[in-house]
A and B are shown apart, each in its own frame.
Chain A
Amino acid sequence: MSTTHSNHSRIRLALLVLVGLCLAAATASAQTTPSPLSPTNIFAPVSTPAHAIHGLSLFVLGVTAVIFVVVFSLLVYAVVTFRSRTDDDNREPPQVYGSNQVEFAWTVIPVLIVLALFIASSRVIATIQNAERPANAIEVIATGHQFWWEYRYPRLNVITANELHVPVSDPADPTPTFITLLSADMDHSFWVPRLAGKTDLIPNRTNHTWIDPHEAGLYLGQCAQYCGTQHAKMLLRVYVQPRAEFDRWIQEQQQPATNQAVSEGRHVFESTACVNCHTVSGTRANGRFGPDLTHLMSRDTIASGVADNTPENLRQWIENPDAIKPGARMPAMGLGARQLEAVVAYLATLR
C-alpha cells in the first residue's frame, strides 16, 4: 500500500514541477519582447492595459502559488504521516469531532487573502475601464462581421478591413487608440493578448477598449467569442507604426481608388454581384456587406489574415472561397477563366 502511495505522490510531484517550469518559461519570456514564446503570449505585454493585467496576474499567481504549496504540503504530510501501517493494531484512531479555534483560523486567513486579491483586482479594473481619453487619441470603430473585421477611422475618413493600423504611443507623450466595438451580426471578441485583454463585440450594443502600444511591430490575435462556422479563421492583425509612417498610411488610405482606367476586369467586377458586397471608392462599387477593397493591395493578407495577399491566393479565393475558408460568407462567383484573370488583374491595381 505504501509503495503505491509514494509512486502516486512522485507522479504528482513530477507533474507539478513540469507545470511550474512551463509557467516559469511563459513568464520569463515576458522579458524578451521581440521574440516571446508565442506572438500571442499574455505574459509579454507592450501596452498599458496588458501591462496592468500582467502585473495583477503575477500578484495573483504568486498568492495562489503560496496557497498551493501550503495546502499541498499539508495534504502530502497528512497522507504520509497518517497512513495505516501493517503493524497497526486494529483499534480505531482517537475520534476528534472539530475545533472552533481551528475553524476560526482557517476562515479568517482566507478572508484576508480574498480581501487583498479583491482590492488589487478592483484597482486594475478602474485603471483600465475608467481611463481618460486624451484629446489626441486615435479613434477607431471596429465592427465584427462573420468572419472578418471592419475598421473605420471616423475623424480621419478612412475605412479598411482586417488589418488595423495604429501609431506607437510614447509613454512620455501618449497617443492611445480608443476602439469602439460594434457587431454587424454575431457576438465576437477582440483579443490581441499583447495589447489588451479581450472585449466582446455584441450586436445592438456599444463596447469600448483601448490600447497604447509602446513598440512598433505586428501584433496578432483572433476572435475569442464563438461566432459561427469560421470562428477559427477570424484572425486579428494590428500594425503598430511610428507616427510618421502611420500618418503616411492614413494619407494613402484617404485617397479614392487610384486606378480609374476602365479595364476588362473592372467591367466584370462592376457588372457582377461583387458590387453588392464590396466597395471601391470612386467607382460604382459601394456594397457594405464585405470588406472595402479600395486599397486591397496595401494589405498583407486576405480573408481576415488567413492567406497571404498574392495574385494566386486571390484567384483561388474568388474562384472558390471554401477552399481557403470553408463556411466563409463570400460565395464562389462562378466566373469563367478569362473573367477570373481579368478581375484578379483589376484587384491588383487597387493600391
Chain B
Amino acid sequence: MGAVVVESANFYMFYPLQLFANWLTYAVFNIAPQTLLASAVNFFIFDTLKIFILLAIIIFVVSIVRSFLPAEKIRNILSRKHKFVGNILAALLGIITPFCSCSAVPLFLGFVEAGVPLGVTFSFLVSSPMINEVALVLLFGMFGLKIAGIYIISGLIISIFSGLIIGKLPVEHLLADFVRKNQARNDLVLPIMNWSQRLNYAKDYTWDIIKKVWPYILLGVGVGAWIHGYVPADFLVKYAGAGKWYAVPLAVLIGIPLYSNVAGIIPLVSVLTEKGVAIGTTLAFMMAVTALSLPEFMILKKVMKTKLIIIFALVVGMGIILTGYLFNAILK
C-alpha cells in the first residue's frame, strides 16, 4: 500500500542514487534483474546511501539551529512562560534538542530548579527524545513525508497533553527531596558561539551521531532488505493487521526496552509495514521506542520517585496507544 507511493516519491528525489544502486547491483555485482536477490541488494544499497546522505545533511542543519538555541536558552524561555503556552513551546523546542538518556537528569533538574513548571518540563521530556532528527530522517527516508509528518504532529500533541495532564496531578511530593524548586539561577551570562565554533560544533556532532548509528542502520536496512526480497507481502496481516486489537499495546510494550537502537529499528519496521503490520501499530511502536525508554526511566529515578516515573510512562503510553488505534482506523 503506502510503500508504493513512498517509493515513487523517493524515486524522483533520489534518482541519481537509484541509478547508482542499479549500476552496482546489475553491472558490478552482476546479479540478474527481476530476481529476489537483485531486489534485496538494490534495496539495501539505495536505502543505506539515501539514509546516510539525509542524516548528514539534517543533523548538520539541526546542530546549527541548536547552537542558537541550547537547552540553557530554552530553559530561560520556558521559565517565563505559563502553562499551556509553555507546554506547546516546550514540545516544539524539544524537536531540536538532542536527547540521550544521559542528559535526562541535568535537563530535568535544570528546568525544574529554574522555575519551569513541572508539566511543561514533562512536555519537553517527552518531545525531546520522541521527535528527534535521527528518527525523522529515517521515517522520511523509509516511509515518506506523510508518515513523518503524522509522526511529528501526533508526537507534539502527545507531548503537550502528557505535560498538561501531569501538571494537573498532585505529583510535586514525588520529586526527589534534593530538587530545589525555583532556586537555580537562570540569569547568568553564558558565552555565545561564533560562526566558526558553530560549524565545528555541528560537524563534530554530526560525525558523532553517524559514528554511533551506522552499524544499526546497516543491520536494520540489511535485515529489512532481506525481508523485502524474501518474505511474501501481507505475510504479517493475520498477526498484526489493523483488525488485531492487541497489536498496538503489544507493540508499545515491545518498544520500551529498545531505545538505543532506534536507527536500526525504523528501517526494519518499515519493511514489516510492507508485509502487513498496520500503520498505526507501526507508529505506536516507534513512538514507544523513542519516548519510553527503560534506561531513561532508570536514570530518572535519581530525581523522582518511582511512582512519578510510572505515572509518566502510563500517561505517555496511553497517548501513544490512542494514536496507534486512531491511525489504524483512519489510514487504511
The yes or no verdict on A and B being binding partners is no
Residues of chain A at the chain B interface (Cβ within 8 Å): none
Residues of chain B at the chain A interface (Cβ within 8 Å): none
